[in-house]
Structure 1
Amino acid sequence: MHTFTVAERDVTQAWVAACNKLDRKDNPDRTGLHTVVRIANPLSDNRVFRAELDRLRTAHGHQPLETIASTLFPAALAARCTGPGELAERYRKMYPAVKRYPGNRLGTYFGRLVDYPGASKTGVDQLGTVIDRLRSQAAGTRMAAAYEIDLATASDSAQETGSELLVHAAGKDNGYRGFPCLSHISFQLARDSRVHAAALYRSHYMFERAYGNYLGLGRLLAYIAQQAQLGCGTLTVVAGHARLDGPVSQLRPLLSGTSPLAA
């Protein structure tokens, strides 16, 4: 079994390190099991590198990285809202139209966070619940790790306890590949008043999705921390199955730092 753990300062360095761990002669299928990528500052990345990666992705028919990131956190919409309540309400109103976009037929990750298809007729807004719990917990004396976006159970437990945010809906999401590959996000409040997040993917395609997912998860973590009046901590991404997909020979100059734009 090929596995690895990488810990880097920003999104770019973490993504490059993970890809290089997969692109090894002793790993001919370029896959890994139970891989761990830890990003100390998930709001930081190399914009020049991102632009070059986006150019290569566009040439191969993939969506821009910002589009991928926005499925996890719609930063532009959030900037126009007064808080998580308005953000959730406006996104729920937009959600039917969002689902009509190519690739969104089953929904988006952020849609599952603010409009989870639970047992009740109305969707569950998990985002606001988690922010409220973090804010309340930080005002007390006991730190805990009970702030979770669980994308893998079909219950309304978020309404009852505020401990889970659901994305994957059991009994509804039965595909072997595709949405939702993200199954769980867990938030931990540290004693230094910073919020850390850990996301679990059942599979992660490094060229097609991972960089954009890191960006979106980092922005989601930062938003939750800011709205709870806390600091933004580290992001850890665990993939049950990771694959270095795409045009590997064209990626290698970027991964080695020899690309003219990445240098």
Structure 2
Amino acid sequence: MNSKAPVLIEETNLSHAWGRIFLHLFDNRCTEISPLVITLTGFNNGLLDEDKAIIKTLDECLAAHNQKTVSKVSETIFPSYMWKLFKDNRQEFFSNYIDDLPNIKSVENKYRPCLYFERLIAFNCEAHNGNQLEHIISEYKSRPEARRSMFQASIFDPARDHVRNAQLGFPCLGHISFVPNNKDKTLVLNAFYATQQILEKAYGNYLGLCNLGHFMAGEMGLQFERMNCFVGVAKLDKVAKRDLKSLEAKVRQIVPSKTNS
């Protein structure tokens, strides 16, 4: 475990940010980074630059190890595919997502579906109940000067998630906060992960958080400015490094390793 100073990754390219994290493990001969801080900015209409070659190679690697693609992981945090269908009406968007949950869960882990967006808009386990995102949007639009501590949402629920299982795939993401700046009309999203799988989840996690931030900014009448993510323990423990040589080579061709270590 890396017990040195926090590793900070600041980028305007999402693929490069993930690539620098990935290469840090090889360059420092470690399988964990603790803690890890990622900050992404430079959004253009809510989108960051990405490198298609890195995404393609990563998706191929994930498929070879029976893992979800980057886009499928991102959809667990924010379902962009569905938002495109209801882009002018967030209420229909929320409602249809809840109504479609049985179908969504049927293709997820049947024991413990990893659906972070469900916790964000239906935290109380009941249909159309506990919509934290709607509360944040509505409160901000009615009271832009309200205390900023109001604009936060929980995913981790002690009542459901404090269990004794040796391993638990959900939720690794525990908390999100939104910080509006009324002066320049921008929004920052902050996220906290207790742990994070660098290979299987990290890229999709960051993409999903950025998409969520863009959605929230748009509904609040703001521009999405920055995504900050704090990870308690970022790790590579399910796939051996020797099985990732082709992915390492591709990433190294494109992204220089320059983390502070």
TM bin (shorter chain): 0.7 to 0.9
Whole-angstrom distance in 1 between the partners of 2:110 and 2:24: 31
- Please say if residues 33 and 242 of structure 1, whose CA atoms lie closer than 8 Å, have aligned partners that are also in contact: yes
Cα pair distance change 1:48/1:221, threshold 3 Å = same
For 1:168, the equivalent position in structure 2 comes to: 156
For 1:61, the equivalent position in structure 2 comes to: 66
Whole-angstrom distance in 1 between the partners of 2:232 and 2:252: 26
Query: Could you tell me the TM-score, scaled by structure 2's length?
Result: 0.83
Q: 1:79 aligns with which of 65, 81, 84?
A: 84
Whole-angstrom distance in 1 between the partners of 2:127 and 2:172: 25
Deviation of 1:56 (Å) = 1.7
Q: 1:254 aligns with which of 247, 250, 254?
A: 250
Q: Residue type of the partner of 1:250?
A: S
For 1:183, the equivalent position in structure 2 comes to: 174
Q: Residue type of the partner of 2:168?
A: R
For 1:132, the equivalent position in structure 2 comes to: 138
Cα pair distance change 1:248/1:83, threshold 3 Å = same
Query: Could you tell me the TM-score, scaled by structure 1's length?
Result: 0.82
Deviation of 1:257 (Å) = 1.7
For 1:36, the equivalent position in structure 2 comes to: 37
For 1:218, the equivalent position in structure 2 comes to: 210
Cα pair distance change 1:215/1:121, threshold 3 Å = closer
Deviation of 1:67 (Å) = 0.9
Q: Residue type of the partner of 2:248?
A: R
Whole-angstrom distance in 1 between the partners of 2:147 and 2:16: 31
For 1:163, the equivalent position in structure 2 comes to: none
Whole-angstrom distance in 1 between the partners of 2:249 and 2:118: 36
Q: Does 1:116 align with 2:123?
A: yes
Cα pair distance change 1:121/1:55, threshold 3 Å = closer
Any residues of structure 2 matched to 1:73-112 within 5 Å, and which?
73-81=78-86, 82-103=88-109, 105-107=111-113, 108-112=115-119
Q: 2:148 aligns with which of 144, 169, 178?
A: 144
1:150-204 CA-to-partner distances (Å, cap 9, x unmatched) read 2xxxxxxxxxxxxxxxx22212113443111000011111231111011101111
Whole-angstrom distance in 1 between the partners of 2:127 and 2:224: 34
Cα pair distance change 1:49/1:106, threshold 3 Å = same
Secondary structure, aligned partner of 1:172: helix
Deviation of 1:104 (Å) = 5.4
Deviation of 1:122 (Å) = 6.0
Whole-angstrom distance in 2 between the partners of 1:144 and 1:85: 24
1:77-113 CA-to-partner distances (Å, cap 9, x unmatched) read 1111132211111111111222222325434101111
When structure 1 is superposed on structure 2, of 29-38 and 240-249 the one drifting more is 240-249
When structure 1 is superposed on structure 2, of 128-137 and 2-11 the one drifting more is 128-137
Whole-angstrom distance in 2 between the partners of 1:121 and 1:67: 23
Secondary structure, aligned partner of 1:250: helix
Count of aligned pairs: 238
- Please say if residues 121 and 128 of structure 2, whose CA atoms lie closer than 8 Å, have aligned partners that are also in contact: no
- Please say if residues 78 and 117 of structure 2, whose CA atoms lie closer than 8 Å, have aligned partners that are also in contact: yes
Gaps of 5+ in 2: 256-261
Deviation of 1:143 (Å) = 7.1
- Please say if residues 187 and 225 of structure 2, whose CA atoms lie closer than 8 Å, have aligned partners that are also in contact: yes
Q: 1:52 aligns with which of 57, 73, 76?
A: 57
Secondary structure, aligned partner of 2:55: helix
Q: Residue type of the partner of 2:19?
A: V
For 1:17, the equivalent position in structure 2 comes to: 20
Deviation of 1:137 (Å) = 4.0
Secondary structure, aligned partner of 1:202: strand
Cα pair distance change 1:11/1:121, threshold 3 Å = closer
Deviation of 1:10 (Å) = 2.0
- Please say if residues 201 and 239 of structure 1, whose CA atoms lie closer than 8 Å, have aligned partners that are also in contact: yes
